[in-house]
Amino acid sequence: MRISVIGCGYLGAVHAACMAKLGHEVVGIDVDSRKIEELSAARAPFYEPGLEDLLREVQQTGRLSFTTDSSAAAGSAVHFICVGTPQKMGENGADLTYVDAATTDLLPYLAPGDLVVGKSTVPVGTAARLAVLVQAQQADAHLVWNPEFLREGHALADTLHPDRFVYGVNDGSEDHPAVAILDEIYSAPLSSGTPRLVTDHATAELVKTAANSFLATKISFINAMAELCEAAGADVTQLADAIGMDDRIGRKFLNAGIGFGGGCLPKDIRAFMARAGELGADQALTFLREVDAINMRRRTRVVELTRELCEGSLLGKRITVLGAAFKPESDDVRDSPALSIAAQLQLQGAVVTVTDPKALANAARRFPELQYEPDTGKAVRGSDALLLLTEWQEYRELDPYELAATLRNPHILDGRNVLDAAKWRAAGWNYRGLGRP
Ligand code: UDX
């Protein structure tokens, strides 16, 4: 099938490459010429494991190209909208400027029978509104909402082997002509057993925001339990293991620590609350305000704990932060809890050095006032306290005995509860976890 993918950020670049991998002929379109240059040379403009290899592989087949020219969408039967929906400046709602512009720019190139397929995370009601524009331009074209659930760091596997497909069509019917077309596009994963659900537009939009809200709630639930464990002298990691053994609860997404960040969960729960307010259903989501508050409180808690580790004062203390990305296997620093903590410590008088295997360039652009050192050994040397804030594998594997000698004071705060506390204490460290005695 001939496919256009509009927007070549995280979502779009991965989607374009994966659709070409599935055998389709794909053109990726983006207004950012730098991004297009990089992708055309099979270089990923961000770090995502496996993406560059996949770009190289599919570009050699001739099935994948990139351009800034929106007219390249003409001739494709299916057009995926993959642009961002960031939080509006100074407000909770989602900024739909890019989704609206991508759809409007596409309209002149639509042919009868074409599908416009939204993948971006949007407030419920957006698809119905855009469907009117599409049909006004081309009565025989259809708009579908087909939300994407990929996780950064696992984006290729999540796209090629998702847990499920959701097709939101205007009448919610299995017989809608768009269903057969999407089935053809996704025939490989469908034939290997991936389930798919056909819903109406509104349900499909809500599935995505509900899923992200549930995940955020799960993380904040366990972080609330961490607060309680701290007050009661209990261990939240054992508590999570024990409640997670009940398969109605499940152990996944119950890792207490510095909380969630990134380009999705924080802004998606806020946009969801804002939209609920517009719909007169704000009471239904007031709990998300608490989810957000618990999450933000983790960052303050880490600053307080670091002050405790530094004998009551941060002034002039040298702090090393291990990890800047919002999670491992990513160079994304959008709303990264690690960086927000690092910046707060610096504001309170500490001298903060941040290290990370992939995210330092992005971090330095966002917080130029912090010091950055790519070499872990150098970053740690002479430090008064070490903060593990993003659980990259190489930090999990650090040797506490070797490291202890290089610090001024062997204090460590394990912000993700991934280190073996007993081992670090045996090596002479003053170890603190979050929600652990
Ligand atoms: C999320 C959703 O998982 C994905 O389905 C959706 O499409 C986009 O948003 P992503 O932002 O890539 O994906 O990250 P995710 O793996 O969900 O992690 C989000 C944040 O939660 C990270 O900062 C992570 O460190 C944190 N987290 C995750 C925890 O603090 N504890 C956990 O147990 C799990």
Q: What is the pLDDT of residue 409?
A: 86
Cα of 216 vs centre of ligand 1, distance in Å, is 8
Residues with CB under 6 A from ligand 1: 149-152, 212, 215, 219, 253-255, 257, 259-262, 264-265, 326-327
> What does the pLDDT average to over 398-418?
94
Phi-psi region of 421 (alpha: psi -120 to 50; beta: other; left: phi over 0): alpha
Q: What is the pLDDT of residues 312-350, one digit of tens each?
A: 999 999 999 999 999 999 999 999 999 999 999 999 999
| Phi, psi at 81, each rounded to 5° | -95, 115
Is the pLDDT at 37 greater than 90? The verdict is yes
Q: Which of 205, 252, 258, 327 to mutate to test the pocket of ligand 1 (most atoms within 8 A of CB)?
A: 327
Distance of CA 9 to the CA centre of its chain: 12
Q: What is the pLDDT of residues 279-307, one digit of tens each?
A: 999 999 999 999 999 999 999 999 999 99
> What does the pLDDT average to over 115-125?
97
- Contact between 71 and 109 under an 8 Å Cβ cutoff? The reply is yes
Give CA separation, 214 vs 161, 209, 211, 291, in Å.
21, 9, 5, 10
Q: Which residue blocks in 150-264 are alpha helix, DSSP H?
A: 155-160, 177-185, 187-191, 201-232, 236-244
Q: Name 231's Cβ contacts closer than 8 Å, sequence gap at least 6.
A: none
Q: What is the pLDDT of residue 38?
A: 98
> What does the pLDDT average to over 147-171?
97
Cα of 366 vs centre of ligand 1, distance in Å, is 21
Q: What is the pLDDT of residues 63-97, one digit of tens each?
A: 999 999 999 999 999 999 999 999 999 999 999 99
Cα of 210 vs centre of ligand 1, distance in Å, is 14
Nearest atom of ligand 1 to the alpha carbon of 218 = 33
Q: Which amino acid is at 412?
A: I
Cα of 266 vs centre of ligand 1, distance in Å, is 10
Instruction: Name the β-bridge partners of 80.
Output: 5, 117
Ligand 1 atom 13, closest CA: 151
List residues with catalytic annotation.
264
Q: What is the pLDDT of residue 105?
A: 97
Ligand 1 atom 21, closest CA: 260
Give CA separation, 273 vs 219, 283, 410, in Å.
18, 9, 43
> What does the pLDDT average to over 270-274?
97
What average pLDDT does the structure give for the chain? 97
This prediction's pTM: 0.97
Could you tell me the domains of the chain? Answer: 2-194 (3.40.50.720), 234-437 (3.40.50.720)
Is the pLDDT at 408 greater than 90? The verdict is no
Percent of the chain with pLDDT over 90: 99
